[in-house]
Amino acid sequence: MELSKRVSSISASLTLAITAKAKEMEKKGEDVVNLGAGEPDFDTPYFIKEATKQALDNGFTKYTPSSGIKELKEAISNKYEEEYNLTYSSEEIIVSCGAKHALFNAIMALINKGDKVIIPSPFWVSYPEMVKVAGGEPVILETKEENEFKINPQDLEKAISKKTKMLILNSPSNPCGSVYKREELKDIAQILAKYNIFCLFDEIYEKIIYDITHINIATLSRKMKGLTIIINGVSKTFSMTGFRIGWALATKELIKAMASIQSHSTSNPTSFSQKGALFALKSKKSKKIVEKMVKEFKKRRDYVVGAINSIKGLSCLRPEGAFYIFVNISSLLNKSYKGNLLKTSLELAKILLEEKKLAVIPGIAFGNDNYIRISYAASIKNLKKGIQRLQEFVKETKELK
């Protein structure tokens, strides 16, 4: 069978592949510690589930407008007005089947063949692949650990060419938990405004943040608001990953184009999931639930950071947001483990899963082979068990003779 050139140019998600393999091993009865998952381990708050059940009981199971129900758009608009003093009409908002879908729609609506899209590395695995599907060219902008994996403005300006159409910015970030501060975003915004480059601003981890304030780049100037496509959703904040509800906020022209693409692909997001998301945004109970979840994530973060940095040969930064640790494994590469040469982060992750029953995500999936990603969206008990296995693995690695 001859497949399209489009599909042959993209790679499957390593994060999903490793998570699937770990789950398959668990089903066989193997004692796997899965620290690869990219979703909160908390249950969806009961009152959100009840509101969703009520929507089902009330027969809210049919088609809705393809770009989302009016009430949910209004709730999203109110959120951005109250929290960021940003005004968006319903015509400037689209509700999609998850934030990933909203990202895909935005890239498909803006990027033409040959357009260049700057993507800071480490990056979330799907950004470059989405750009490729749209016919664009991902331009990977390397960042450094000593700069907290954040963009250097001078490097950003050097990466811009006449064909540069967009910068994808993720704050708080997956995989390293970096959070851009106001002054850092101002420097980036000035460059984007100077060259009229769009910013696809992915803030899906917006509420999972520690001891720092989340800044939305669209708040920095009127021009920047016009150049920004905000991407967000309920998946991470309310532990509603399976509901598949995300959204985008942008200019009317762009949202109309995205809505057209959506109308010919998925049509509307799931009707009753939209009602659950609506209740999540409107309920006064939500804030306390989210605060409780973030408090627990912070405790886990502090434990994992301390534990990783106590293992000789490993190191990591303390993330300011999300629920991931990006672990530097460079000192382990080119060592051996039971006769197996650890050439890459993928090989290391594969052996860890097979030998120690510990699932992590190789850094190459995020554009940096010297790291692995550990998710602390797991119980303290499992985190301790996982760290112990990792420590044993490191001790058992040997220098090549």
pLDDT digits (tens, 9 = 90+) for 147-161: 999 999 999 999 999
For the stretch 43-48, contacts whose Cβ atoms lie closer than 8 Å and that sit 24 or more positions apart, written own/partner, are 43/239, 44/238, 44/239, 44/240, 44/243, 44/276, 45/238, 45/239, 45/280, 45/285, 45/286, 45/289, 47/279, 47/283, 47/285, 48/238, 48/240, 48/276, 48/279, 48/280, 48/283, 48/286
Q: 5-43+287-396 adopts what CATH topology? A: Aspartate Aminotransferase, domain 1 (3.90.1150)
CA 301 to chain CA centroid, nearest Å: 17
State residue 120's pLDDT score. 98
Domain boundaries, the chain: 5-43+287-396, 48-283
Structure tokens at 284: 């006064």
pLDDT of residue 5: 79
Assess contact for 384 and 372: CB atoms under 8 A: no
Would you state the structure tokens that stand for residue 199, as one six-digit string?
Answer: 């910013």
pLDDT of residue 162: 97
What pLDDT score does 19 carry? 78
pLDDT value at position 386? 98
What rounded mean pLDDT belongs to the chain?
96
CATH class of 48-283: alpha beta
Radius of gyration of the chain (CA): 21
Q: Which of 356, 358, 360 is nearest to 374 (CA)?
A: 360
pLDDT in tens, 266-279: 999 999 999 999 99
pTM: 0.96
Report the run of H or E that residue 380 belongs to, with start and end: helix 380-396
Query: Is 70 exceeded by the pLDDT of residue 401?
Result: no
With cut-offs at 50, 70 and 90, classify the pLDDT of residue 362: very high
